[in-house]
Chains A and B, each alone.
Chain A
Amino acid sequence: MLREFRGRVWTFGDDVSTDHIIAGKYLGTTDAKVFAAHAFEAVDPTWSSKVQPGDVIVAGDNFGCGSSREQAPVALKTLGISGILANSFARIFFRNAINLGFPVLECPGLRAKVQPGDVIEVDMAGGEVRIPHGQVMRFTALPPNVLEILEAGGLVAKIRSDLSTKRS
């Protein structure tokens, strides 16, 4: 996992649901490229062709509410989004993203301070987000066990390492 990332901002509002992120009609496959190609189609049908690897999503309250479909964070990670900063996250989306080693950070108030296309810098270890005009905002630190999963690169890597420690 990148401990620091810098990226161009895409903004979203409150209550972005998993239906917004990837519609149910695309779930009849396990191919991540399909999910990526149709990400946020309900909001902007051309979004997935405009987003660039390294871009960052900044959103309002309750990002990822709705379904347990892990295809939602898979779609965004597959597109190369480096992380999501939101006022708050829905719980299953949050777990799913962390389990994929995909940074999701609660940074209340950030959404109101950035515009689409702004470039922001996120320092995971320092807990800081640098936004244009020299401003710095702090995000809520992840609980230690969650950080451990993220730093392992996801839950699969974490469990593999735990299992091999147990065996040795």
Chain B
Amino acid sequence: MPALTMSEKILAKASGNESVRPGQIVDGSVDLLYMHEMLAMALIPFGEIGTAKVWDPTKIVVTLDHWVPPPTPEIAKMHQTIRDFCRRQGIQRFHDVGDHGIVHQLIAERGYAHPWDLVIGSDSHTNMVGALGAFAAGIGATDTAAVMATGRLWLRVPETIRVDIRGTLGRCTGAKDVILKVIGTTGDDGARYAAVEFAGPTVGALPMNERFVLCNMTTEMGAKVGMIAADETTKRYLAHNGLPFRPISSDDGATFAKSFAFDVDGMGPQVACPSNPANLKPVEEVQGTKIDVAFLGSCTNARIEDLRIAAELLKGEKVAPGVRFQITPASQIIYRQALEEGLIEIFMDAGATFTSSTCGPCFGGHLGTLAGDEVCISSTNRNYPGRMGSPQAQVYLASPWTVTASAIHGEITDPRKV
């Protein structure tokens, strides 16, 4: 048996092969298909394919996240269509408005994905779920319809790029700064079609919430999947679902198409400048840039740990006059935690806005979009023109520390100086 990487092992298992090699096209049996409102788009090709029933309703999870609650009658109707479809198809794991979350976070926190799974999601940031040791790739509407009908998907076995991270993260510096640094080094297509595997002592020591950040933004490297070996940390995170845990890691001697090594000792906060996630500058070079909006949200950085960071910095402080600081948790579960921990009160005392969980602001959909002359610092994942609203708006991407420190000072601020 040749030595395999994690993604090769999972694709071999999913396609019933003993081994696979990069470049090979395999027909994979899907363990989990998850969808958000794209299901409405997928229903068109699904209807054309003509299979009345989905292949296996127990392998499907659906939630509503992009437009929650629905901002227009047309979107309310779209939600109805999805609700009716899930009921008719017997999809039990439909998480309706009120029980919702940004789908990647919902999948992770409910323990729906496991190491060794072939996970397919109708969203580009499905890569996040690879932090659990799953092969988790995003697809569009027609592919989604194909999986709903057949339970299978053709996949090209990706080459694996290994990103080795060592060193100790400094104060007010975290996984977001690391991944921005990686993207700034490789470019926003540095891992096109590839699997990215994070390894090394720094990654091994990261808690799950930070591992999710790394894998989440492999999408902004063009990667098909981002993966981290499933270890004791993963096992503890998934323990609540009561299912057997089987670790996964790449074999010694597995082939990596490329390897990068990063030493994060002494690395400070990083900022991706308008209008490309790879347009990287250390915070020192952009501090003082006036902002109109600060946003803490999205599947990338709106977990409870991110909200705690914001609360710690905001306690006893005020959001700068003229700045709107919006905090949108990644799920209803996180919303409740924030409530129970008293974080929402701190946000409100500081003059920040706290909203229900949604993807809305991150993709410029609703619930906080940007005007043409606005400058925003955001904990989200993309800053292409028009991403968060007007194509003229300027978006800087940064960590929860940098976003919150900037909200307090009304300009991009090095959080280590707060």
Contacts and interface: CB of A to CB of B under 8 A. Distances in A.
Interface in A64-82: 65-71
Given A92-B140, A96-B140, A160 B48 contact: yes
Contact of B192 (A88, A96, A159): A88
Interface stretch (A1-9, A14-22, A107-115, A130-138): A14-22
A91 B49 CA distance: 23
A15 B41 contact: no
Contact of A90 (B149, B192, B391): B192
Given A15-B276, A66-B382, A156-B49, A99 B74 contact: no
B223 to A, nearest CB: 8
A91 B137 CA distance: 10
Given A19-B382, A23-B364, A92-B138, A65 B44 contact: no
Interface string B121-134: 01110100000000
Contact of A20 (B48, B124, B386): B386
B139 A27 contact: no
Interface in A91-145: 91-92, 95-96, 99-100, 143, 145
B154 interface: yes
Interface residues of A, number: 39
B245 to A, nearest CB: 29
Interface residues of B, number: 52
B40 A42 contact: no
B25 interface: yes
B51 A30 contact: no
A70 B142 contact: yes
B356 interface: no
Contacts of B67: 28
Contacts of A155: 45, 142-143, 146
B369 to A, nearest CB: 7
Given A156-B145, A163-B51, A145 B41 contact: no
A20 to B, nearest CB: 6
Contact of B44 (A24, A30, A160): A30
Interface of A: 15, 17, 19-20, 23-25, 27-30, 41-43, 61-62, 65-71, 88, 90-92, 95-96, 99-100, 143, 145, 154-156, 159-160, 163
A156 B140 contact: no
A154 B276 CA distance: 32
Interface string B54-80: 000000000000110001101100100
Interface in B168-216: 188-189, 192-193
Contact of A92 (B50, B124, B150, B188): B124
B224 interface: yes
Given A66-B382, A68-B124, A155-B143, A28 B364 contact: no
B78 A62 contact: no
B222 interface: yes
B44 to A, nearest CB: 7
Interface in B315-367: 363-366
A25 B365 contact: yes
Given A15-B276, A28-B71, A30-B44, A68 B49 contact: no
11 contacts: A17-B387, A20-B384, A62-B188, A66-B124, A67-B363, A68-B122, A90-B222, A95-B140, A96-B139, A99-B146, A156-B49
A92 B153 CA distance: 13
